[in-house]
């Protein structure tokens, strides 16, 4: 029987099984590849200096609600709940756990929701500062993100890291940013010896209404993805995405350009685990055996 | 009420347009008039309910909802098909 990529990653200690599909520990060699790749992203980035912000993997629930995420992706969201009861509730809770019952029923929603994409906490934060300066804003983000989609496919994790650059400004500024990164992204991936294919894409919007949102997104070419083979050469995996949100986040959060217009936004997102997986799938599970040019690009 | 009139009133109620729907011609571009992706989804669901039809997936696109006239044409076609079925 052929062992799956996931099993081989477990055996090599690159990923560590936790008993939950899509929730894995990472070994040192895996983390090293991600760190080296992130440094390479920095070397391929344009000269403009972004403002670096690191949010934790949880965001303000009010900001999450305001973002409209539940309109589009209710099936992917994860909320943080905690025990908020009295001592008697605690006793009942322990008894329920001991009996194998559903002890989570009494848990209450906290003010924290797991971050669904690295840029979600950014927009309300920037809106709070007031109108953008002349020339708009450029931000460098990275966060663990959560999406509830358990799978045996190692490229579909429930908790994974997303590195993002976000541009906020006029339509021309954000479109130019996205065009520029589509070229840079392809060069970056080619530099580490991976095959790339750029294609229009849509987000996994929920239900039939979502089918319409997805078709509309494709028709307007709002989302492009760089597809790279990970588990299959036929069904490639999106490892980078280039998104133009038009005025969606600008109008939602009241982001304004220096001229008082509703700001447009665009982002480029790197699926860091997916890129690492593509590298291990292509070049082998031992980084010492990777081709010299790939090693030189990553380790210098 | 004709299909066009019914669609016009549904657009007025669910389209969340920044302009008065009464000022729009039947063939006016609804997206140019400010129809958002999300409002077009609510419009789609309201039209399905009113006419008791279901848009097939290949019709769930911007072209179908591009104008009152375009919506009416698809509704008429689907009403005939889905009654015949």
pLDDT attached to residue A81: 98
Q: Percent of chain A scored above 90 by pLDDT?
A: 90
Whether the pLDDT of residue A222 is over 80: the answer is yes
- Which of A68, A208, A216 faces B61 most closely, judged by CB atoms? A216
CA distance A120 to A222: 17
Which residue ranges make up each domain of chain A?
A: 28-78+116-299, 79-113
- Binning pLDDT at 50, 70 and 90, where does residue B82 land? confident
Average pLDDT of every residue of chain B = 91
- Residue B40, domain CATH: 1.10.1200.10
**What is the CATH number that goes with domain A28-78+116-299?**
3.30.930.10
Instruction: State pLDDT tens for residues A237-282.
Output: 999 999 999 999 999 999 999 999 999 999 999 999 999 999 999 9
The parent domain of residue B7 ranges over: 3-84
- Binning pLDDT at 50, 70 and 90, where does residue A208 land? confident
Average pLDDT of every residue of chain A = 96
CA distance A162 to A115: 10
- Binning pLDDT at 50, 70 and 90, where does residue A210 land? confident
Rounded average pLDDT over B19-29: 94
Whether the pLDDT of residue B84 is over 70: the answer is no
CA distance B72 to B7: 7
- Binning pLDDT at 50, 70 and 90, where does residue A77 land? very high
Q: Where are the alpha helices (DSSP H) in A68-201?
A: 69-72, 87-98, 122-128, 171-191
CA distance A251 to A255: 7
ipTM above 0.90, yes or no: no
Does the CB of B32 have a partner CB in chain A at under 8 Å?
A: no
How far is CA A177 from each of CA A58, A147, A222, A294, B78, rounded to the nearest angstrom?
27, 27, 13, 27, 43
Instruction: For A139-156, give one letter per residue: b (16+ CB within 10 A) or e.
Output: bbbbbbbbbeeeeebbbb
Higher pLDDT, residue A37 or A300: A37
Whether the pLDDT of residue A2 is over 80: the answer is no
Instruction: State pLDDT tens for residues A24-54.
Output: 999 999 999 999 999 999 999 998 999 999 9
How far is CA B49 from each of CA B7, B13, B63, rounded to the nearest angstrom?
12, 14, 20
CA distance B14 to A144: 37
Whether residue A268 contacts residue A242, with contact meaning beta carbons closer than 8 Å, is answered with: yes
- Binning pLDDT at 50, 70 and 90, where does residue B36 land? confident
Does the CB of A213 have a partner CB in chain B at under 8 Å?
A: yes
Q: Where are the alpha helices (DSSP H) in chain B?
A: 3-14, 37-51, 68-84
C-alpha R_g of chain B: 12
Rounded average pLDDT over A177-205: 95
- Binning pLDDT at 50, 70 and 90, where does residue B38 land? confident
CA-based nearest distance B57→chain A, Å: 7
Whether the pLDDT of residue A1 is over 60: the answer is no
The answer to whether the CB atoms of A71 and B38 lie below 8 A apart is yes
The two tokens of residue A25 are 């520990």
Q: What is the DSSP letter of A160?
A: E
Question: Total structural domains in chain B?
Answer: 1
Q: What is the DSSP letter of A19?
A: E
Rounded average pLDDT over A286-290: 97
> Cα A94 to chain center, whole Å?
36
DSSP codes joined into one string, A238-287: EEEEEEE-TTHHHHHHT-B-TTSPBPEEEEEEEEHHHHHHHHHHHH-S-G
Q: Percent of chain A scored above 70 by pLDDT?
A: 99
Does the CB of A200 have a partner CB in chain B at under 8 Å?
A: no
Does the CB of A207 have a partner CB in chain B at under 8 Å?
A: no
CA-based nearest distance A146→chain B, Å: 24
Whether the pLDDT of residue B81 is over 90: the answer is no
Residue A29 sits at φ, ψ, to 5 deg, of: -70, -35
pLDDT attached to residue B2: 86
CA distance B82 to B59: 14
Whether the pLDDT of residue A290 is over 80: the answer is yes
Mutation pick from A205, A208, A210, A249 vs chain B, by most beta carbons of B within 10 Å, is A208
Whether residue A203 contacts residue A214, with contact meaning beta carbons closer than 8 Å, is answered with: yes
């Amino acid at each position: 029987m052929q062992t799956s990529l996931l099993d081989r990653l477990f055996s090599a200690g690159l990923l560590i099984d936790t008993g939950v599909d899509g929730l894995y520990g990472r070994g040192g060699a895996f983390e090293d590849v991600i760190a080296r790749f992130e440094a390479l992203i920095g070397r391929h980035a344009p000269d403009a200096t972004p403002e670096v912000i690191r949010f934790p993997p949880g965001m303000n629930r009010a900001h999450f609600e305001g973002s409209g995420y539940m309109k589009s992706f209710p099936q992917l969201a994860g909320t943080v709940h905690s025990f908020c009861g009295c001592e008697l509730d605690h006793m009942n809770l322990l008894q329920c756990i001991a009996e194998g019952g559903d002890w989570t029923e009494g848990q209450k929603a906290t003010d924290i929701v797991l971050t669904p994409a690295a840029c979600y906490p950014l927009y309300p934060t920037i809106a709070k500062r007031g109108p953008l300066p002349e020339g708009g804003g450029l931000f460098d983000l990275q966060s663990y993100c959560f999406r509830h989609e358990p799978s045996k496919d190692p490229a579909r994790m429930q908790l994974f890291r997303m590195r993002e650059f976000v541009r906020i400004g006029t339509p021309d500024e954000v479109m130019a940013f996205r065009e520029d990164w589509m070229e840079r992204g392809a060069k970056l991936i080619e530099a580490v010896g991976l095959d790339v294919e750029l294609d229009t894409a849509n987000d996994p919007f929920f239900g039939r209404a979502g089918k319409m949102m997805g078709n509309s997104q494709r028709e307007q070419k709002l989302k492009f993805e760089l597809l790279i083979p990970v588990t299959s050469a036929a069904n490639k995996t999106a490892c980078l995405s280039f998104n133009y949100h038009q005025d969606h986040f600008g109008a939602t959060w009241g982001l304004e350009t220096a001229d008082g217009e509703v700001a447009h936004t665009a982002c480029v997102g790197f699926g860091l685990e997916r890129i690492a997986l593509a590298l291990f799938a292509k070049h082998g599970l031992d980084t010492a055996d990777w081709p010299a040019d790939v090693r030189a690009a990553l380790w210098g | 009420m004709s299909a066009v009139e019914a669609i016009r009133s549904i657009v007025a109620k669910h389209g969340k347009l920044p302009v008065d729907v009464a000022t729009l011609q039947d063939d006016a571009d609804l997206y140019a008039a400010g129809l958002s992706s999300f409002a077009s989804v609510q419009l789609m669901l309201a039209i399905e309910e009113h006419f008791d039809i279901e848009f097939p997936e290949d019709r769930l696109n911007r072209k179908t909802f591009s104008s009152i006239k375009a919506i009416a044409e698809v509704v008429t076609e689907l009403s005939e098909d889905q009654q015949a079925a």
